[in-house]
Chain A
Amino acid sequence: MLFGKKFRTQLPQAVGAAYSLKIDGKSACAVTYCGDGGTSEGDFHAGLNFAAVMDAPVIFICRNNGWAISTPVEEQFRSDGVVVKGQAYGIWSIRVDGNDALAVYSAVHTAREIAIKEKRPVLIEALTYRVGHHSTSDDSTKYRPIDEIEYWKMERNPVNRFKRWVERNGWWSDHNESELRSSVRKQLMQAIQVAEKAQKPPLSDLFNDVYDRLPSNLEEQERILREIVKKHPEDYPSDVPL
């Protein structure tokens, strides 16, 4: 599984992963994610085209939530969403209600079977709505109406929707809910306490893993840094092991 990054570099990489699974004859596929905004990036198109030509067993899941920071989809593309783009590259594509957990499960389950059995890519466009702000430095009420956000947050909330289905089947109740919430909360608080006491990463972590082994120039830079920190301990964080 490859996680989303701004440049959609993960899309061709997913194709590469799928290609290597195919060569190894593994009964597996790669899955990669992007947003509506990400479909404008060059690597989205390159990735899809390659997946199609290489018959790579990869599932592209595009979360179309209507917004890329402040850019609404009308200003991102003029196509009929993302699903037609997959089709344009010769990839089997489907659009699902991203807020319907069962629909998404069903689509991804079948997509995986197709990808593995038929060794071909599949594109899933999951329609949803970005209820939160883009990041902690964004205030989306500046560019969209609050009642729109509230509507999608409350009436169209996908978690509540799934919850109601589960409850209606008699598998969950308010009592279960409150129990779970309080137990998870306790676990979280404990985890935070443990994490806060955990040791900060040591100085050597700055240089490890740049390469497989420390080359001479980095060895020297690490040595210089240690000397500096030793000489000026008051200027550097004291809780970091050297």
Chain B
Amino acid sequence: MATLFQGLPSSTAFSSSNKFNHAPAPTSFSERKSSIVTVRSDARWSPVLNSATHKPQRLITNAVATKADSSLASTSSKPGHELLLFEALREGLEEEMERDPCVCVMGEDVGHYGGSYKVTKGLATKFGDLRVLDTPIAENSFTGMGIGAAMTGLRPIIEGMNMGFLLLAFNQISNNCGMLHYTSGGQFKIPVVIRGPGGVGRQLGAEHSQRLESYFQSIPGIQMVACSTPYNAKGLMKAAIRSENPVILFEHVLLYNLKDRIPDEEYVLSLEEAEMVRPGEHVTILTYSRMRYHVMQAAKTLVNKGYDPEVIDIRSLKPFDLHTIGKSVKKTHRVLIVEECMRTGGIGASLTAAITENFNDDLDAPIVCLSSQDVPTPYAGTLEEWTVVQPAQIVTAVEQLCQ
């Protein structure tokens, strides 16, 4: 059996390799579907927020300043509608796409597939293949494409299937997204939204468990926000799309199935505001994204022990809402930061510096920052759990801080 290697002639006689269908290819996606596509998320991403006991916890997620002990009363009498966080993101996206024909989406598997986390489900059918664009696998290219489209009048939302993949687009995000408005003397606007899930999931492996907010925070010219509830997810999505600046919206792999009730009326949140989750007197706990839930879990325990923590979801990672944070520090004089970033160079590190610089006189104790260790996230589930700050650690830290 000899194999002959021959240079391919320029006009190849090979038939295109692109035809795999045995049956004639259906002409549209709707023909291919044989049954109703159900919204189904991977069973792994269940809202197991307290990973130590593995019991799903229903936590208050409202943004309004209420005490955390308000009941999980029947929500049927309350106004608004219930949905999951990824549906809230989709709702915000859909409303903005209806409102402004320049808004478009691009990314891998966002079109007919509806996105790996179903955030864009149904949008391609509604708005067409061009406005909800499936791209080849090249993050730097489709990010660059989005930036170019933004420079010429569109308002693209660029989805990274996982935030970690956007490392390939770092050049585009840093050099172009962040800088072009400046280097063009204001001539070019880059109203893009770059969004995707990040954070530590369930055994996704080191490369897919990254906290990109650490790496992006230094890029001048961009804004960064992190959503954590269906309410703020929709509000931040809309705000990000309407912003004239490039905004990076950080979602979390484990929060997509959070369910809550959101208003029927339209609302847009501010990109620069933090969210008061639970007012208190003894200590200011600053957090964002998934760690908000670990903090609230700890808060329950702390309240039982007689503490009164003030919990703020900082939401805006760049710039920090130092007004809200400052007010809180002046009240409690003690700060605990709980984050998922690694100790070195994370959001917590920057926040610590910012608070120390601005409110040093108001602090009665050094700021404590609970972060993940400076290690790649292990694949082993047990070790992975240990890299994420747990509620028990938060309780201990508050107790020590308040001595």
Contact = CB atoms under 8 A, between A and B. Distances in A.
Interface of A: 5-7, 37-38, 40-42, 64, 66, 68-77, 80-84, 87, 92-95, 102, 106-107, 109-110, 114, 125, 127, 129, 136-137, 139, 141-148, 151-152, 200-201, 203, 205-207, 210, 217-218, 221-222, 225, 228-229, 231-232, 234-237, 239-240
B392 A70 contact: no
A7 B108 contact: no
Interface string B73-87: 000000000000000
B17 A235 contact: no
B21 A148 contact: yes
Given A81-B18, A92-B7, A210-B375, A201 B33 contact: no
Contacts of B21: 145, 148
Given A7-B168, A236-B386, A71 B375 contact: no
B136 A237 contact: no
B134 interface: yes
Contacts, number: 172
B113 A210 contact: no
Nearest to B376: A210
A193 B33 CA distance: 41
Contact of B386 (A77, A82, A144, A206): A206
A91 to B, nearest CB: 11
A125 B52 contact: no
B175 interface: no
7 contacts: A40-B136, A42-B140, A82-B17, A94-B5, A110-B5, A148-B23, A229-B386
A84 B378 contact: no
Interface residues of B, number: 56
B383 A201 contact: yes
Contacts of B382: 200-201, 237, 239-240
B164 to A, nearest CB: 9
Interface string B25-49: 0100100111001001010100000
A106 B343 CA distance: 52
B8 interface: yes
Contacts of A114: 5
Interface string B157-177: 000000001001000000000
Nearest to A140: B113
Contacts of A240: 382-383
B12 interface: yes
A144 B40 CA distance: 17
A83 B8 contact: yes
Interface in B337-376: 343-344, 373-376
Closest 4 CB pairs of A and B: A81-B17, A40-B136, A70-B113, A137-B42
B109 A221 contact: no
Given A72-B20, A75-B134, A221-B373, 16 more contacts: A71-B137, A83-B14, A83-B17, A87-B7, A95-B17, A136-B42, A143-B113, A145-B26, A148-B22, A201-B378, A206-B375, A206-B387, A210-B375, A232-B396, A235-B391, A235-B392
B17 A142 contact: no
Given A210-B374, A210-B376, A221-B374, A37 B18 contact: no
Nearest to A93: B8
Given A38-B137, A41-B137, A73-B17, A205 B23 contact: no
B19 to A, nearest CB: 9
A218 B374 contact: yes
Contacts of A236: 52, 385-386, 390
A71 B44 contact: no
B49 to A, nearest CB: 14
A236 B386 CA distance: 8
B141 interface: yes
Nearest to A150: B22
B64 interface: no
B116 interface: yes
Contacts of A80: 12, 14, 16-17
Nearest to A35: B137
Contact of A68 (B42, B44, B137, B140): B137
A137 B204 CA distance: 12
Q: Which of A95, A109, A137 is the most central at the interface, judged by chain B CB atoms within 10 Å of its CB?
A: A137
